[in-house]
Each structure stands twice: as C-alpha cells, then as structure tokens.
C-alpha cells in the first residue's frame, strides 16, 4: 500500500498517545506526514494499559520538562476533551495520610503543588476526608484535595488524536514495525517487515522502544526499562464506594497504589511497580495481584467484597533518567521523544506542541492549513448518554436499540460503526477498546460468541467491498 518513491516531510514512529498527538499536531500544517505503528492498532501499547488519570502535574518535579509539558498538556486537554467527545470526569483526587510520616509530608506536597501552579490544592481535615470518602477504612489522619485531577478514557485519547490526524490527511500504517533507518542524502529510509517509507524528518515516539530507535541514530543516552504496573478492576456495582481518585501520599520510594473510579464506572486498584527485562511482559503475576489485594485491604476493605471485572498490566517506559527524554537534532532532522514514563496520557498534547516548536527551530516551515477538521468520537463513558439510552438514535437506526454486550450495554450499531470510520478496528481487541464490548463483568460469557460472529460477518462484508 505504501508508495516507496514518495518522500514524506515527517514520519512519526509509534502511534501511542504521544505519537498520535504529535501526528495530530502536524496535521494542522501543510506537511506530508505519516504515522507508523508496529501493532495492528493505534494506542495498543502502554497507552492502553495505565491508570487513566488526567494529571494536573501537582506533584511533578518543579521546573522539569515533564512538569512543564504536563501543565501545558493538562490545559490543552481541557478544551480538546469535550470537543472530541473523549469520556472524562473531573473527579478530583484525595490524598489520604494513613501514618505520621505521610501526614507530615502533606504540607510539602501542598507547597509543591502551588509552586507548580496548581493553586486550588488544599489540606483536608480527617472529618473532611470521611465526608468526601465515607467508605474508606478508619484510621486516616488527614488529607489533601487536588480538585483538578480527573479521570479520562485511555482508549479514546490516542484514537481521537490519530483519527483526527488521518482525517486531516496524515497517512497511517499499522503492522509496520520499523527495524532499520538509513539516511539517504536529505531523507531517511525507514524499513521493516511491513515495507519501506521515506521521510525527511523523523520523530521517535516509540514508547518502550524509543531507546532502540534512538540508537539507530547513533545515540546511546538512555535505556528503557519496562516497569510493570498491574491493576485490578472491580465491578461497576462498586462505583458508589469511591467518589474521587484516592491517591497515595507519595514517599521517596514509589508513587504507591491508588484506588480510582474509571470513566466506564468501575473502580480500579493499582498499579504495582516492578522493573522487568522483557518489553512485552504484560502478564499479571500472583505476587503483584496479592500485593494489590493487601494494599486495597488497607485503604478500603469493603471494595474487596465486590466482584472483580478484570486484571491487566501495563509497562511504563522507565529510563535511567528522571525526566522525559526529548531531544532535537536539527542536523539529523530527528526528534527523540522517549521515556514518557507515567504521565504521557496527560501530557501528550503538551508534548506535541513542544515537538512542533522543536521542528520549527530545526527549520521546518509550518504553514497552517485552513481547513483543519475537528473530530467527535463515539462516547463510551458512563456519565453522559449512551446510544442505548437515546430514543433519537434508536428511531434513526434500530441497531442502536439492539444491545449485544449486556454488561457494558454496547449496541449492534456501535459495534458496526467501530469497524468503519477513519481508523476501523481490525482486531477484536481493537473493537473492545472502541466500544467496551466484552470488557464488562462477564468478560464475554454472554456476548463473546455473538460479537465474534458480528465482527467476522462485517469484516467479510467490508472485504467484499461493502460500505457502511
């Protein structure tokens, strides 16, 4: 499908939240761009398996690049999220101190938050903590409120960015792992099992492989260590137990384990933090799950009586540095965007804006397109109206009244829609992320065979040339 002769202006390697945000930003300008992704879908790496908190950056290291881009990213998302229809809720976060040590560090966190420009952060008395969160265990000593911390849909974020980029003429190649990059006069040839692509500029946003790509340019400045984070997701019927993101008070060693509602209406417990060697080791472990169980017991023991919906693990692209690894090499026409460890979902738009500044600095001419198109994503959260609740939609198309996945109340029309559009799902996992089907409490006991059948029939129809 690729035109081996065509030379793109910019190629973005890796379509996670970060790469997709960069591609979207690029698509505002008169440039020929391409987004290259090794997996069969965008957002199928670390971006799909995290805690999905839209961070304010209140506790980021003041003055670091991460803090700067997180603050900016947070701000940019405020406008983008409603515009693109990304499920989100401004839940606010509560840090609860369970011991003297934690209690004593609250002041310092408050100070830092204010320094970072997150000025609405304030201390909570014990009474206030229990008023806000009546179901947490007894024994809290006090807390801190971060009103701006929010929850967001991790699946829709990269999909929205990438879909909008595609809508605005960025080419997207999936199943296209880059294995080799060679310079050829004033452009590069990027190649791998998927084929070959040429581009003048390259942006490396390959997440866990950002170090590997960086080395292809002759650098050896950071090493990505996959830091596994395991999570347990509890049933939606547990939602009433938790009102805010319950953040642990960070200590010197780790950010700790949080309990948080999700935009789908579940409660999540996690993550763990464990350094591994294998960049694909996204399995859960007995030790990890047991650790979380104990942690959960210590925060909100009532939660453990509820059913578990799922467990999963994600890998942070941790490096031997504490800050983001973003570098411009004008001479090489190369930007490295690596080590976006544990805040990339929130900072993605900030990073994208920053990368465009770097490209400008490198001499890329940026002329704004006049007809930059906006996008509206299908809503899969729990807070606003879903298609099964809309008389109007069902009147237009009966398939919106046909619920296929009962736990998540996903309709036939939504499933079919997800197999079309700017970036259609081409795998069942992709379908899951776009619609929520099979992601609920029964994990497909009731609907997986039905969904599978619908998927296969529709894919067959599309392959035979059928449109929507």
Partner 1 sequence: MKVFNTDVLIIGAGPAGMAAALQLTQMGIQDIIIVDRDTQAGGVPRLCNHLGFGMRDIHRVLSGPSYAESYLKKIKNSSIQLLTETTVTEWIDEKKIKITSPKGIHTIDAKAILLATGCRERPRSARLIPGYRPQGIYNTGSLQDYVHGYKEEVGKSAVIIGAELVSYSAIHTLSKAGCKIKLMATEFDKHQIYMPYLPFKWWSSGLLPKIPLKKNSIVTNIYGKQRVTGIDLVNKKTGKKKHIACDTVVFTGDWIPDHEMARLGTIEIDDKTKGPVVDAQLRTSKEGIFAAGNLLRGSEPGDVAALEGRHAAQSIEYYLKNGGWYKDRIKIIVTEPLKWISPNSVDLGSSGLPMNRFLFRVNDFIKNKTFIVRQGETVLYRKKYSTIGPNYSRKIDAQWINNINSTEPISISLE
Ligand X SMILES: Cc1cc2nc3c(=O)[nH]c(=O)nc-3n(C[C@H](O)[C@H](O)[C@H](O)COP(=O)(O)OP(=O)(O)OC[C@H]3O[C@@H](n4cnc5c(N)ncnc54)[C@H](O)[C@@H]3O)c2cc1C
d(CA 78, CA 100): 36
Q: Show the tokens assigned to 73.
A: 């990213």
According to the binding rule CB under 6 A, does residue 356 interact with ligand X? Answer: no
| 270-289: contacts with ligand X (CB under 6 A) | 271
8-state DSSP, 285: -
According to the binding rule CB under 8 A, does residue 297 interact with partner 1? Answer: no
Phi, psi of 182 (to 5 degrees): -120, 140
Torsion of CA 170, 174, 155, 391, to 10 degrees: 80
Instruction: Using DSSP bridges, classify how beta strands 334-338 and 325-329 pair: parallel, antiparallel or unpaired.
Output: antiparallel
According to the binding rule CB under 8 A, does residue 289 interact with partner 1? Answer: yes
Q: Show the tokens assigned to 312.
A: 């999963």
Of the candidates 55, 114, 244, 446, the residue annotated as catalytic is 55
| 111-170: contacts with ligand X (CB under 6 A) | none
Interaction mask 389-428, partner 1, x per CB under 8 A: xxx--xx--xx-xxx--x--x-------------------
- CB under 8 A: which stretch of 12-20, 86-94, 221-229, 284-292 binds partner 1? 284-292
Q: Which residues pair with 229 in a beta bridge?
A: 314
How would you write 347-393 as a 3-class SS string? Answer: HHHHHHHHHHHHHHHCCCCCCECCCCCCCCCCCCCCCCCCHHHCHHH
According to the binding rule CB under 8 A, does residue 122 interact with partner 1? Answer: no
- CB under 8 A: which stretch of 37-45, 107-115, 218-226, 386-394 binds partner 1? 386-394
According to the binding rule CB under 6 A, does residue 11 interact with ligand X? Answer: no
- Choose from ligand X, partner 1, none: what does 342 bind? Cβ within 5-8 Å by kind: ligand X
55 catalytic per annotation: yes
Instruction: Using DSSP bridges, classify how beta strands 7-13 and 150-152 pair: parallel, antiparallel or unpaired.
Output: unpaired
- CB under 6 A: which stretch of 45-53, 98-106, 114-122, 287-295 binds ligand X? 45-53
- Residues in binding contact with partner 1, number by CB under 8 A: 42
d(CA 418, CA 71): 32
Q: Which residues pair with 88 in a beta bridge?
A: 152
According to the binding rule CB under 8 A, does residue 283 interact with partner 1? Answer: yes
- Choose from ligand X, partner 1, none: what does 168 bind? Cβ within 5-8 Å by kind: none
Residue 325, CA distances (Å) to 26, 32, 109, 350 in order = 20, 26, 25, 14
Interaction mask 303-342, ligand X, x per CB under 6 A: -----------xxx-----------------------xxx
For the chain, the first-to-last Cα distance in angstroms comes to 22
CB of 127 to ligand X, least distance (A): 29
According to the binding rule CB under 8 A, does residue 232 interact with partner 1? Answer: yes
- Residues in binding contact with ligand X, number by CB under 6 A: 40
Instruction: Using the Cα atoms of residue 64, residue 67, residue 70 and residue 71 in order, give the sign of their dihedral.
Output: negative
Interaction mask 71-110, partner 1, x per CB under 8 A: ----------------------------------------
CB-based burial, 176-210: b 16+ in 10 Å, e otherwise: bbbeebeeeeebbebbbebeebbbbbbbbbbbbbb
**Closer CB to ligand X, 152 or 415, in the complex:** 152
CB 19, CB 166: distance < 8 Å: no
Binding stretches for ligand X (CB under 6 A):
13-19, 36-39, 44-47, 50-53, 55, 177-178, 205-209, 213, 229, 271, 314-316, 340-346
What is the set of active-site residues?
A: 55
Contacts to partner 1 by CB under 8 A = 232, 237, 280, 282-286, 288-289, 293, 305, 307-312, 388-391, 394-395, 398-399, 401-403, 406, 409, 441-446, 448-450, 452-453
């Amino acid at each position: 499908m690729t035109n081996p002769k065509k030379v793109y202006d910019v190629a973005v390697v890796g379509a996670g939240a970060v790469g997709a945000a960069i591609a979207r930003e690029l698509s505002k300008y008169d440039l020929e761009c391409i987004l290259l992704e090794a997996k069969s879908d965008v957002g199928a790496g670390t971006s799909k398996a995290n805690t999905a908190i839209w961070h304010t950056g209140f506790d980021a290291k003041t003055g670091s690049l991460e803090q700067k881009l997180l603050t900016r990213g947070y701000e940019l998302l405020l406008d983008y999220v409603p515009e693109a229809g990304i499920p989100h809720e401004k839940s606010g976060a509560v840090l609860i101190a369970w011991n003297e040590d934690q209690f004593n560090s609250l002041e310092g966190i408050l100070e830092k938050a204010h320094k970072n420009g997150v000025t609405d952060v304030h201390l909570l008395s014990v009474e206030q903590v229990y008023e806000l969160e009546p179901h947490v265990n007894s024994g809290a000593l006090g807390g801190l409120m971060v009103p701006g911390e929010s929850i967001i849909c991790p699946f829709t974020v990269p999909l929205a960015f990438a879909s909008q980029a595609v809508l605005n003429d960025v080419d997207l190649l999936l199943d296209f792992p880059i294995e080799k990059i060679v310079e050829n006069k004033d452009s590069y040839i990027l190649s791998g099992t998927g084929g070959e692509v040429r581009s003048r500029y390259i942006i490396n946003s390959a997440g866990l492989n950002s170090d590997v790509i960086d080395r292809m340019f002759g650098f050896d400045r950071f090493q990505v260590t996959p830091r596994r984070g395991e999570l347990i997701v509890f049933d939606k019927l547990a939602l009433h137990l938790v009102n805010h993101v319950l953040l642990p008070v960070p200590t010197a060693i780790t950010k700790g384990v949080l309990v948080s509602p999700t935009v789908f209406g579940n409660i999540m417990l996690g993550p763990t933090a464990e350094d591994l060697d294998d960049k694909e080791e996204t399995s859960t472990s007995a030790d990890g799950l047991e650790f979380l169980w104990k942690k959960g017991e210590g925060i909100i023991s009532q939660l453990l009586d509820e059913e578990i919906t799922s467990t999963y693990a994600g890998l942070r692209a941790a490096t031997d540095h504490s800050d983001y690894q973003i570098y411009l090499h004008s001479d090489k026409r190369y930007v490295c965007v690596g080590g976006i460890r544990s805040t990339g979902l929130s900072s993605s738009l900030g990073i994208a804006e920053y990368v465009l500044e770097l490209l400008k600095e490198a001499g890329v001419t940026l002329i704004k397109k006049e007809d930059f198109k906006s996008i509206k994503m299908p809503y899969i959260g729990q807070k606003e109206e879903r298609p099964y609740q809309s008389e109007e939609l069902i009147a237009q198309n009966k398939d919106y009244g046909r619920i296929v996945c009962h736990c998540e109340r996903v309709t036939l029309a939504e499933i079919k829609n997800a197999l079309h559009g700017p970036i259609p799902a081409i795998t069942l996992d992709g379908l899951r992320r776009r619609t929520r089907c099979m992601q609920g409490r029964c994990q497909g006991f009731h609907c997986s065979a039905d969904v599978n059948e619908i998927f296969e029939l529709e894919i067959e129809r599309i392959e035979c040339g059928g449109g929507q």
